[in-house]
Each structure stands twice: as C-alpha cells, then as structure tokens.
Amino acid sequence: MAHDNKIEGHEAERDRHPAAAEKILDVARDLFYRQGIRAIGVDEIVRTAGVAKPSLYRAFSSKDELAASYLRRYDREFWERFDKAVTAHPGDPRAQILAFLTGVGERTQTPSYRGCGMTNAAVEYPQADHPARKVSEDNKRELRRRLREMARGMGAADADTLGDGLLLLIEGAYISGQLFGAGGPARSVARNAALLIDASVVKPGA
Amino acid sequence: MAHDNKIEGHEAERDRHPAAAEKILDVARDLFYRQGIRAIGVDEIVRTAGVAKPSLYRAFSSKDELAASYLRRYDREFWERFDKAVTAHPGDPRAQILAFLTGVGERTQTPSYRGCGMTNAAVEYPQADHPARKVSEDNKRELRRRLREMARGMGAADADTLGDGLLLLIEGAYISGQLFGAGGPARSVARNAALLIDASVVKPGA
DNA sequence: AGCTGTACGTACCGATCGGTAACATTGTCA
DNA sequence: TGACAATGTTACCGATCGGTACGTACAGCT
C-alpha cells in the first residue's frame, strides 16, 4: 500500500489547478469580461486576486494564455446555457432556439451586460493566430453548425440560410446589447427570430 | 491692398488642418481599423505617417481624441454609403435597405474586412464617457432611428420591432463578417433581411 | 533687412506594460 | 522530523505606453 492515498486523484487535480490559479481565473473572468482583455493588465489581476504575480505565471504561460483559459471557461458556460434551452424542449428546435434567445434578450437588458466574451475577444484580437481568438472562432463555428442543424430540423426551405440568419440575430443582440443597454434592439431578438423562422419554414398545410 | 492675399481663405483652412494632421488621420484610419485602436500606439502612427510625434499632439489633444476623429470620419463615410443606397431607390424603403445590405454582405466577403469601425470601438471602450465610444453610440442611435422610420415606411405591423430586427442583422453581419471571413453567415444578410421584412409587413391584398 | 507666427523635429519624461530571478515561508504529507 | 509542493516577497528587466519641453527652419509682412 505504497500510494493508495484516498485523495490521490483529488491531489492530481489540484496539482494541475492550484488554489491561486482558480482565484486568478475568477478575477480574470470578471475583469476581462467587464472591461476587455487589453484594458486589464496582469498587475491589476494579481492585485485584485490577492496573489503574487509569479503565481499567475506558474499557472499560465502568458497573459494571452490566461485570456484563452478565460474564454475556454466562458465557452463551457455558454454551452451549458445553450443546452439547457435545448433539453427544455426535446424534439422541438424552434422552441429550443426561441427559449435560448429569450434568455439572451433578457440578459442584454441587465446593467452589467457586456455582450459575448468570445465575440468581444475576437474584436480585440484580429490576428488569426492569437490563442484567445482561436477559442472564439471554434465556438462560433460550432454554434453555426448547431444552428444550421436546428434549422434543418425545423423544416426550413433553406436551412443554411435560416441558421445563418439566426446567428446574425444572435451576434447582433450581443453587440447592440452592450451598445444600447436596457431598452435597446436586443430586447426583440426572440420576436424577430420567430418571425424569421416562420417565414423560412415550409408550411405543411399550405 | 493690405490683405487682399489670394490664398488667404485657403490659408485659414490649412490653419485648422495642417499637412501633417491629414497624413496622421489617414494612417490612423488604416491602422485603427485593421488592427484595433488599443493595439496601435501613437509611435507607430507617427512613424508610419512619417511625421514627428508633437505634430500629432498639436492637431489632436490626445490619442483618444484622435480615435474619436477617426470615427467621425468613419461615420461620415458610413452615411455616404447608406444614403447612396437610399437615393438609388426613392420612395421604396424596402429596396433601399436591401441595396444597403447587399453592399454590406459583399464587403464582408473581402479579405481586408474587419467589421464596422464604430462597433469595434464600442467593444474596445466599454466606458460610457470615452470620446470614441460617444461617436459610436451617436451613430448607432441615429441608425436605429432611421431603420425604424424605414420600417414604418414599409408598412410593417410592428415597425419598431422590424427596424430593430434589421439593426440586429446588420450588427450581426459586421461581427460575423470579421469572425468567419469569406463564406461566413454575413453573406446571407440581405436574403434574411428580405425574409424578415416580408414576414413583418401587412400584405395589402391579404 | 528685420520681425513674427507657425509648423516641425530632437530628445526626453514618468508610468506602465508583460514577464522573470532568487529566495523566504507555509502547509501537508510520510 | 524531513521532504516536497505551493505560495508569497522583493526586486528587477527591457520595451513600450501616452505625452511634452524646447529649439529650429521657414513663411509672410512691414
């Protein structure tokens, strides 16, 4: 019984994510989202997190990698929200996407809303090889795929066009949500999506 | 004949816009748009423009003001494109907005496309009091007003919702244009707008 | 010619940027 | 107790940030 330690697995996990790293990621997530990645320096992050700067660079190889980690976490949380709307309406892609968009429309009206972290990161980093941008691009590509798939499930005459139209509405809601704040156009994203869907599907009885 | 200098009026004009200032604004426009405002330092601007740094600060009180000037120029060029589509189809707001969106959809497919300079600036500067953001917000507010007005002219059942829906599609095209590049969802912005419009207008003979 | 105002360039400022070296301290295991 | 991993402390690096003090070249006017 050399290493049958009961928390060995747990230790291995913490080995990869020490306590300081989690605090750093929590703070980075908050500051990056609210003020932008370029606007926040590493000094401000470690100061707010109450940790030392070397702790940041022991857990993340660079600020760019920290930004990418922040976005990977954002990506996970995004799909949680998305899949929650999907599983709430099994077999009904129209209701699924509308449920998701209703949630988006509501969040855009809250004071702290600042759009989609991944969309914003892609705007901040136009270079194709930036690690943060790569996470964003992967997320958007997958979202596009899912939306086109759902549009197909709705029986759209041109599923790819409808899927892309829904993506345009979503991105538009992200942006105008942070541009206009409460009372802005993003409030109507679900309503407009419903109109677009109904105009795109082939009515069975027509 | 004390001051009947033939170039006096011209001089007064140049007084307000010295030669160096125009070169600076040209370079700033190019670099800011392609790489982002925060990504470009004033040193790179003056180096590329081939002028001295004090020339920048004699014409612009700060980098933020230079960014605002860049966006004011962007705003003028935006409305030129918009009004060109409008005047091409007098009295037909549906054709007007579709002509504009066709142009947007085409531009999103070009390699150098990086979205809307004002939208991007608003993402880069979330603070409400930033001079660059103010220019962007003013532009978007006016655009929203015009779109709702056009939607009313189309006879939409809910003109405000349609106008906002068109704005969402436009902003979505800006963003996904720079996220996906050629072949992305922005290509279909005019098609989706046409679907949304037709689903929103009250058919006279129905 | 001499004066004046204007545009420009050289050189520099303090502050902050992202990132690191070296070492002390802590807590948790065996 | 001894080993080890994680964290903290301090001080530092070169580069770049936005911004400026100050001198100069040159124009038009008298």
Write the pLDDT tens digit of every residue in A83-118.
999 999 999 999 999 999 999 999 999 999 999 999
How large is the C-alpha radius of gyration of chain B?
20
Task: Write out pLDDT tens, residues B52-70.
Answer: 999 999 999 999 999 999 9
Q: How confident is the model at residue B18 (pLDDT cuts 50, 70, 90)?
A: confident
Strand C and A34 CB separated by under 7 Å: no
Inter-residue contact B100 to B178 (CB < 8 Å): no
Average of per-residue pLDDT across B149-156: 98
Residue to mutate among A164, A198, A200, A203, with most B CBs inside 10 A, is A164
| Tokens describing residue A96 | 């699924």
The Cα–Cα gap between A88 and A72 comes to 24
Tokens 């197909």 belong to which residue? A152
- Residue A205 has what pLDDT? 54
Q: Residue B149 pLDDT > 70, yes or no?
A: yes
Inter-residue contact B117 to B33 (CB < 8 Å): yes
DSSP character at residue B183: T
Q: Residue A10 pLDDT > 70, yes or no?
A: no
Angstrom distances, CA of residue A86 to CA of A12, A91, A99, A158: 34, 9, 8, 22
Strand D and A41 CB separated by under 7 Å: no
Chain C positions with an atom below 7 A of a protein C-beta are 6-12, 16-22, 29-30
Q: What 3-state DSSP class applies to B201? A: strand
Q: Which residue has the higher pLDDT, A19 or B17?
A: A19
Q: Residue B140 pLDDT > 60, yes or no?
A: yes
| Tokens describing residue B6 | 């033939």
- Residue B84 has what pLDDT? 98
Q: Residue A161 pLDDT > 90, yes or no?
A: yes
Task: Write out pLDDT tens, residues B186-204.
Answer: 999 999 999 999 999 977 5
- Residue B19 has what pLDDT? 79
- Residue B1 has what pLDDT? 33
Sign of CA dihedral B31, B32, B34, B36: positive
Closest CA to A31 of A112, A138, A123: A112
Q: How confident is the model at residue B21 (pLDDT cuts 50, 70, 90)?
A: confident
